[in-house]
Structure 1
């Protein structure tokens, strides 16, 4: 191992593991060694020895604890037990919590035994878990750490091209800045079966690339596949608003309200786009009343920006809306 601290920890783990010491303590040092050099096989060799010698005790520790160390050990123990789906989900969770460490460079994650048996659904869910904490993955350093994920996605998506799973995997590729690969994976999903989720993912990728018309077209196809989906109506309305077509945006939100008339976000968007198009004080008032109930602050502020740009709105009403943004 290249890292001296990790090597020292591995030595301590060996002593503790084989001299009747506390198993949890050995596991602590082993996982520290894995974090120090994820690609090194030595910590996994020691953990495999522990699993062979004390499988029940080790299983109890990794099952009952909720620390990243336990989840990391659970990933490899699941691999040893042949439960590749559980192994994928566990390493996905650890990666989401600490993406600055290249956990997937672990030797087992790159073995054909794993790549040949993990299900597309589990790998897709694991990929989603890597994004759980909202870390920025669109950097060269992150792409290097996530390279084993890209290979796994490539292998598994060809082995079992399940459309929904492929669409979820495409979200990770997009998050890592691999927009061309994300769109290609969506196309591969379409070749099996066209589903709404694929179009939504494709729309998000086109938006990231700055192509609003392509994004709108993808949302329209998604809506055609699921016409009663109010959330899709809102997504497409937001794109049309960004393009400056507030009449189309209003028609879309009003269509969505047929299916979810009490949804605060949908009602707020309708009011904002009406205020922007017509300069209606009553619509801006409605947006002001709904604003505290919107869960997404940045989206609330965007709606207020749109509404306050409406023609000839009373200055005091605009000021009241702006105060919400600053609160």
Structure 2
């Protein structure tokens, strides 16, 4: 405090910077704990700023001190998502038995998902080293309380870090409690990462068996069949999905693209041209246009119009 002009806010910022420099060093946490004991009201406002990385970092430890382990996990997950290049989970409290023994499986799963919020690449040796405390926490919490949906979500982080065998193992553990659709979807994504289209499709088929009215699963499986060049199967699957959600924009666009590719129908390509600008995912829109424009004997002017949307 003496070095920060007596300001709790300035002290918290200074301590957050110290933690960022060496997350494993216990001293800044000890000082922050003392500051929280002595100036709780002054510090309370500082840690409420959800847009400040420093504030959320301080909040994660303060929630631990308060015994709110779920909130502590969520906060450090958010911080990790912004800057996964820093080993935030090396914090002594994150591996503490008090934390690992109390944090819920759902909260740890949500925290794990937050670490991936900004799409940073995690599949490197250096990232796996930084994420070791997360892997250890997942092991402890999944053994203590194996909640299938939570385990499936944790398995997504393992996959993102390149630990595909561990991701499959966590899915198997989830299945041993109860088979649910999400676990098969996570498996499908892991097989896709490994480049095995048949296993990907098989996992989506199992997911559909568990939730046969889920239109998005028909789309997922149709996309796999399109990747394999089986556009007849892709069209059949889209038609099945449309029975459940006949107005779903993405389903209709995919159906138009796959029919145009299969039959060379100008009407289907025209429908895709109408629907494509409103697709939320640019890369998926481009993929559908690529498929559609490869249809047989399509009018050149329609193909050119589709390409203009793709390149816009």
Q: TM-score scaled to structure 1, two decimals? A: 0.93
Give the alignment partner of residue 80 of structure 1, picking from 34, 53, 65.
65
> 1:224 deviation in Å?
1.0
1:111 is matched with 96
* Alpha carbons 2:197, 2:228 under 8 Å: kept: yes
Separation in structure 2 between the aligned mates of residue 24 and residue 181 of structure 1, nearest angstrom:
42
SS at match of 1:63: coil
Quote the residue 1:41 is aligned against: 26
Q: CA deviation at 1:293?
A: 1.1
Superposed, which structure 2 residues align to 1:244-263 within 5 Å?
A: 244-263=229-248
After superposition, the CA RMSD in angstroms is 1.2
The one of 126, 132, 136 equivalent to 1:151 is 136
Contact 1:197 1:222 in 2 (8 A): yes
Residue 301 (structure 2) aligned to one of 298, 301, 316: 316
Return 5+ residue gaps in structure 2 as ranges: none
SS across alignment from 2:84? coil
Query: How many angstroms apart in 2 are the aligned matches of 1:56 and 1:192?
Result: 44
1:20-41 Cα distance to aligned partner (Å, 9 max, x none): 7010011110000000000000
Aligned residue number for residue 17 of structure 2 = 32
For residues 50 and 238 of structure 2, the distance between their equivalents in structure 1, rounded to whole angstroms, comes to 46
Residues 100-140 of structure 1 show CA distances to partners (whole Å, capped at 9, x for unaligned) of 11100001001111111100000000000001111111111
- Compared CA separation, residues 186 and 65, structure 1 to 2 (3 A): closer
CA distance, structure 1, for counterparts of residue 290 and residue 182 of structure 2: 29
Q: Which residue of 1 aligns with 2:156?
A: 171
Tell me the equivalent position of 1:216.
201
Whole-angstrom distance in 1 between the partners of 2:88 and 2:242: 45
Q: Give the corresponding residue for 2:183.
A: 198
Matched pairs, number: 312
Gap regions ≥5 residues in structure 1: 1-12
Length-normalised TM-score, structure 2:
0.98
- On the 8 A contact 2:258/2:291 being kept in 1, the answer is yes
What SS does the corresponding residue of 2:244 show, helix, strand or coil?
coil
